[in-house]
């Protein structure tokens, strides 16, 4: 096995290679003045090697996605034996069906592109809709980083902690966290208006008075959903509220918005480059690659 650390996930790629004790192939890249990406591998052939390309696709997602496609197709052309794409944050996975007639089914398009560029396997973290990914031809390993976040909170010594996830479908995240935090779990339903994109939260009564609450989501983008959830938890008398997510995209002033709504801290993993990164995903991904 050889690892190719893509321009968006250099550190993670290097860490994986170190843990797995395998070589890396250096990837040179540049962006031309018109915005196009250029990729070159420091190799003449990848003949007969299992290649693992590591590239997250957080914003600028289109650029990072094209770089991933260029790397995969180049590896295919350079005779890689197999190509695994480790894509911790999988761009476009939130458009996992046609919500309105005539809409593009974006995640399907992205998977098709990867497949056409020779990717045999995808490894990702907390995909927005794991069930949708399972319907594609190409195998997808969807790994959960929630236990890493929960372990972080356990080490912080929270008082009578309760794990809460956003969206009923996300209840599994709170359940997973609770296996470590052991204070009970619940969820807050969310509803996104398919036209405006605005999210509203169910006004639900939670058993959180005078307790520390950790609210889990797969991704924090604008921070709007999480900020509303934190407000709800504070209104219901939670002692301290923490915002946790696997993919801290934190667009614009998202972090500030969540802190202003009453959160003690916003905690994420290093699935995407951010100043948060409290939990390292490298050992988790290494375990999957070693299987």
Q: Which is nearer to ligand R5P, 221 or 269 (CB)?
A: 221
217 binds ligand R5P (CB under 6 A): yes
Q: Cβ neighbours of residue 255 under 8 Å, at least 6 residues apart?
A: 223, 266, 276
276 binds ligand R5P (CB under 6 A): no
Applying CB under 6 A, which of residues 59, 224, 273, 277 lies at the interface with ligand R5P?
224
Q: Which is nearer to ligand R5P, 74 or 95 (CB)?
A: 95
Segment 119 to 148, residues that bind ligand R5P, using CB under 6 A? none
Residue 265 CA neighbour count, 13 Å, CB half: 12
Q: x/- site string to ligand R5P, residues 74 to 113, per CB under 6 A? A: --------------------x-------------------
Q: Cβ neighbours of residue 203 under 8 Å, at least 6 residues apart?
A: 232
Q: Which is nearer to ligand R5P, 55 or 221 (CB)?
A: 221
246 binds ligand R5P (CB under 6 A): no
Closest C-alpha among 228, 248, 189, 186 to residue 211: 186
Segment 153 to 212, residues that bind ligand R5P, using CB under 6 A? 166-167, 199
d(CA 45, CA 81): 11
ω into 241 cis (within 30 of 0): no
Applying CB under 6 A, which of residues 65, 83, 133, 219 lies at the interface with ligand R5P?
219
Applying CB under 6 A, which of residues 118, 223, 248, 268 lies at the interface with ligand R5P?
223
Q: Shortest Cβ distance from residue 152 to ligand R5P (Å)?
A: 20
Do β-strands 199-201 and 190-192 pair in parallel, antiparallel, or remain unpaired? antiparallel
At CA 280, angle to CA 279 and CA 282, rounded to 5?
155
d(CA 5, CA 14): 7
Q: Considering only 60-68, 110-118, 203-211, 222-230, which stretch makes contact with ligand R5P by CB under 6 A? A: 222-230
Applying CB under 6 A, which of residues 142, 176, 218, 270 lies at the interface with ligand R5P?
218
- The crossing angle, in degrees rounded to 10, of helices 146-155 and 171-181 is 40
| Residues found near ligand R5P in the complex (CB under 6 A) | 94, 166-167, 199, 217-226
């Amino acid at each position: 096995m050889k690892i190719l650390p893509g321009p968006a996930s250099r550190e993670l790629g290097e860490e994986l290679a170190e843990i797995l004790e395998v070589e890396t192939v250096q990837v040179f890249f540049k962006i031309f003045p018109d915005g196009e990406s250029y990729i070159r591998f420091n190799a003449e052939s990848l003949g007969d090697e299992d290649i693992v390309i590591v590239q997250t696709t957080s914003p600028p997602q289109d650029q990072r996605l094209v770089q991933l496609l260029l790397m995969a197709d180049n590896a295919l052309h350079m005779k890689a034996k197999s190509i695994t794409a480790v894509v911790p944050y999988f761009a476009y996975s939130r458009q996992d069906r046609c919500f309105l007639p005539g809409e593009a089914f974006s995640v399907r398009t992205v998977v098709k592109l990867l497949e056409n560029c020779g990717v045999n396997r995808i490894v990702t973290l907390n995909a927005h809709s794991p069930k949708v990914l399972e319907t594609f031809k190409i195998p997808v390993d969807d790994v959960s980083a929630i236990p890493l976040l929960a372990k972080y909170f356990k080490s912080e010594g929270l008082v009578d902690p309760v794990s809460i996830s956003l969206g009923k479908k996300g209840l599994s995240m709170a359940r997973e966290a609770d296996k470590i935090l052991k204070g009970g779990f619940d969820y807050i339903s969310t509803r996104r208006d398919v036209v405006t994109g605005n999210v509203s939260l169910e006004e639900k009564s939670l058993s959180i008075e005078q307790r520390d609450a950790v609210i889990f989501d797969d991704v924090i983008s604008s921070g709007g959903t999480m900020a509303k959830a934190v407000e709800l938890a504070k209104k219901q008398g939670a002692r301290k509220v923490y915002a946790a997510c696997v993919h801290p995209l934190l667009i614009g002033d998202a972090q500030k918005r969540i802190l202003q709504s009453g959160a003690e801290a916003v905690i994420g993993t290093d699935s995407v480059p951010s100043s948060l990164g409290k939990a390292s995903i490298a050992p988790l991904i290494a375990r999957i690659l070693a299987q």
